[in-house]
Structure 1
């Protein structure tokens, strides 16, 4: 028996099939759109992160040398000695970096010192300035003094003759009572410590008496002490180069009284005694102002 299918039933079935198909397509479309949206967000996030990283990298690369900082452990060196130089670059981002390459050194007097690598080498006594240059940037100058040492004694710098001889007492930069040029002459002339001690004491005594020749009766004690010490080494000790007939005063007076004003001052000192006669002071080691190594005692 054949079943009769009505037209209304066919139409209803067709509508149901079409509706299911459309719903499925809409879901697929929405899912695809959602996936595409997520992908775009991830790509956008990746681009943003890459952009920030690039900006940071560019900022770091853009840091430029702003200034230089030069330092050395000491500002004074003896001849033929050396020390280490430290040079830091300060950059625009505030960071510091130690530099050791591509440095140009500016030395005002290359006779005094030289730089090898990051070593500063003292050559001869004098004073000079040192600066570093990197990429057109200059460090502030540092003043360096190189001094001479003889027999373990640091010599005062050679004074300017014009300035030194313009006054009665001249220059005594280390304040030991002996004029700098006289002290240098003594240490460069005499090798034995007793010789140096005797001449240094004599030089100090002569400085004291010419300051005020009118006080000769007070200041003559310094001359007497010097003579007492000299007599001790001449007559009481034999292990030294001071002979009995050696004229220490004659040796030193030529440099001690090397200007007319100094010579006149010493003559005035002697004139204060007006022909008085004095006995020879006794020989005494206690009157020496130096030890057996020629080391000078403190100024009194």
Structure 2
């Protein structure tokens, strides 16, 4: 009888422990609590001071787009896959031109803009540009990266 009570006791302890651990989610919140905006998984909002400490900012998922800008794009353009993709490409190439300035990086960004002829789309993408250029250091990097640049639709295949 004592063996049966001990066995029941440990069964209750084991079940209770399992329930408590599963309720905690194992402690790895990055896996269990995905952030979603307009059906798009996004990184968490970065610490403002840390994000503004460098031109590149915080890109926790390593996709080439700053986390705060990625969240903005998901919010503003996440309901349209083609516009969302275009805005992400815009943000990625702009970020590359600022963080790793070179004529090639600036040209990649200009090439993204080259074929956009709809004024509404350009106006919409302006919000991404302004969010990207949210510090004096980033605005200076932009001025240096695109000094003398000219954007035409020459070479655009429509």
Residues in 2 aligned to 1:162 and 1:277: alpha-carbon distance in whole angstroms = 34
Count residues with an aligned counterpart: 154
Aligned pairs for 1:228-239 (under 5 A) are 228-231=114-117, 234=118
CA distance in 2: counterparts of 1:65 and 1:210, whole angstroms: 63
Higher relative contact order (CA 8 A, sep 6+): 2
Structure 1 unaligned spans of 5+: 1-56, 67-87, 91-96, 107-117, 121-129, 132-140, 235-241, 286-300
Structure 1 residue 185: Cα displacement: 0.5
With over 3 angstroms needed to count, the CA separation of the structure-2 counterparts of 1:252 and 1:64, relative to structure 1, is same
1:249 Cα deviation (Å)? Answer: 5.0
TM-score normalised by L of structure 1: 0.43
2:128 equivalent in structure 1: 252
Q: Name the structure 2 match of 1:206.
A: 94
* Partner SS for 2:46: coil
Q: Tell me if structure 2 keeps the 8 A contact 1:230–1:283.
A: no
Superimposed CA distance per residue, residues 158-191 of structure 1 (whole angstroms, 9 cap, x where no aligned partner): 1111211112111112221111100100111233
CA distance in 1, matches of 2:151, 2:68: 32
Structure 2-normalised TM-score? 0.75
Question: Which protein shows a greater Rg?
Answer: 1
Contact between 1:224 and 1:281, CA under 8 Å: does it hold in 2? no
Please point out which of 71, 75, 81 is paired with 1:184: 71
Could you tell me which residue of structure 1 aligns to residue 140 of structure 2? 264
Relative to 1, partners in 2 of residues 1:146 and 1:281: Cα closer, same or farther, differing over 3 Å?
Answer: farther
Q: What is the Cα-based RMSD across aligned positions, in Å?
A: 3.3
In the alignment, does 2:105 pair up with 1:219?
Answer: yes
Segments of 4+ moved more than 6 angstroms: none
Higher strand share: 1
